[in-house]
Amino acid sequence: MVHWSAEEKQLIAGIWGKVSVEQCGAEALARLLIVYPWTQRFFSDFGNLSSPTAIISNPKVRAHGKKVLTSFGEAIKNLDNLKGTYSKLSELHCDKLHVDPENFRLLGDILVIVLAAHFGKDFTPDCQAAWQKLVRVVAHALARKYH
Amino acid sequence: MVLSAGDKSNVKNVFAKIGGQAEEYGADALERMFVTYPQTKTYFPHFDLAKGSAQVKGHGKKVAAALVEAVNNIDDLAGALSKLSDLHAQKLRVDPVNFKLLGQCFLVVVATRNPSLLTPEVHASLDKFLCAVGTVLTAKYR
């Protein structure tokens, strides 16, 4: 089981409390599709992904980004039971969605950059460390039920 | 992975905007890397890695200077970084995974210090550039 120090929990909660899930989620997913265009392979039914502008304004991208980041919120409420929290989602991503877990790592790194851009100097090295740990652990939990 | 004309232009623009602060960006990226990915400290047992360390600042300056040199010779990264590539292959032998970690930290530094600069397109170009630099630096490993 992952151990979280009180400081790490505080750093995570402190940032999360000020995050617009809708905005950050949309931005993170859009950037994933722009920076790593091969990730578009999972979203062939999302319509126009032909340019960065199209991706950023695509309503399905925005909606799905919000969905994904909302799920992150669940993780943050259940830091001591991420395996349990993501068990069903892990099965879903393996059995139905067929998503290579590497994509969770890519999205996690992008999310950290989006947070860094929003919070500037407040996104201190210690903050970054806590959040990189969180995204790494979430990615691991999502990959756990793969077979 | 090939840098397009647009990528090169984006990267040059970023470094032009960063200008003389590149050294600070380098030091900041290294500090973040040591804090976020503690295993990277194993390559610096001879350094004082405490916050504000002069050695880290000095090394950040070196890293930044190399990136600036790469940007100034972006059409021939292999040529511009050839000596550094030899150094990493023969002497330093930093495991290739670590270049991605430093790259991530550099992007975070740009994001924290200059968020308006890091549009999605520029983010993509800069990520590609940093990957390309890592690839060149590890190209002669075996």
- Taking the domains of chain B in order of start, what are their residue ranges? 5-138
- Judge contact between B127 and B107, C-beta under 8 A: yes
Nearest residue in A to B29, CA atom: A125
ipTM: 0.89
Letter for the amino acid at B135? Answer: T
Whole-number pLDDT of residue A87: 96
State pTM to two decimals.
0.93
B1: pLDDT strictly greater than 80: no
**CATH number of the CATH domain containing A85:** 1.10.490.10
Instruction: List Cα–Cα distances, B140 to B50, B67, B81, B89, B95, in angstroms.
Output: 32, 19, 11, 6, 12
Q: What is the pLDDT of residues B45-64, one digit of tens each?
A: 999 999 999 999 999 999 99
**Minimal Cβ distance to A31: which of B31, B115, B123:** B123
Residue A1 included in any domain:
no
Structural domain boundaries enclosing A61: 6-143
Look at A123 and B112 and tell me if their CB atoms are within 8 Å.
yes
Is residue B21 less than 8 Å (CB to CB) from chain A?
A: no
Residue A65 included in any domain:
yes
Is the domain covering B5-138 a CATH 1.10.490.10 domain? Answer: yes
Our count of domains for chain A comes to 1
The stretches in chain A having pLDDT less than 50 are none
Residues of A in contact with B127 (CB under 8 A): 35
Look at A34 and B113 and tell me if their CB atoms are within 8 Å.
no
